[in-house]
């Protein structure tokens, strides 16, 4: 009986970490709701040692090519979180996304 309780408790702990660990930071240039469509740019960047090593930047001028920036987002997706959990935080990828106004020319 104790083995089943241990397994159940471990599963609940893992699910809680997975569901609670997904996070995002969204920046909008207006007061509108988050964009739900496909971003103009999406790339995963590598961070090491619990995020202490790894510095990346995203050039929105280059991405939007003269168009206004509509939304920027940094997100820890489920695969990002799984990688961090599997490596005990040594490797922590984060995904950057950018949305631009209008259609690219």
Query: Over 70: is that where the pLDDT of 15 sits?
Result: no
Question: What gap in Å lies between CA 70 and CA 74, rounded to an integer?
Answer: 14
Which residue, chain included where needed, has tokens 């471990």? Answer: 10
Query: Over 70: is that where the pLDDT of 91 sits?
Result: yes
Across 74-99, average pLDDT: 81
Query: Which helix (DSSP H) or strand (DSSP E) does residue 97 occupy?
Result: strand 94-100
Question: What gap in Å lies between CA 11 and CA 18, rounded to an integer?
Answer: 11
Q: In the prediction, which pLDDT does 12 show?
A: 72
Question: What gap in Å lies between CA 67 and CA 60, rounded to an integer?
Answer: 9
Higher pLDDT, residue 33 or 20: 33
Q: Domain coordinates of the chain in residue numbers?
A: 23-100
Q: What is the pLDDT of residues 26-76, one digit of tens each?
A: 767 777 766 777 888 888 888 888 777 877 788 888 888 888 888 888 887
């Amino acid at each position: 009986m104790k083995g089943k309780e241990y397994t159940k408790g471990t599963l609940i702990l893992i699910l809680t970490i997975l569901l609670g660990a997904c996070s995002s930071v969204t920046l909008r240039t207006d007061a509108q709701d988050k964009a739900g469509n496909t971003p103009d740019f999406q790339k995963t960047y590598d961070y090491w040692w619990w995020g202490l090593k790894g510095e990346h930047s995203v050039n929105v001028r280059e991405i939007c090519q003269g168009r206004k920036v509509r939304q920027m987002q940094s997100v820890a997706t489920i695969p990002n979180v799984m990688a961090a959990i599997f490596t005990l935080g040594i490797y922590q990828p984060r995904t950057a996304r950018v949305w631009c106004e209008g259609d690219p020319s």
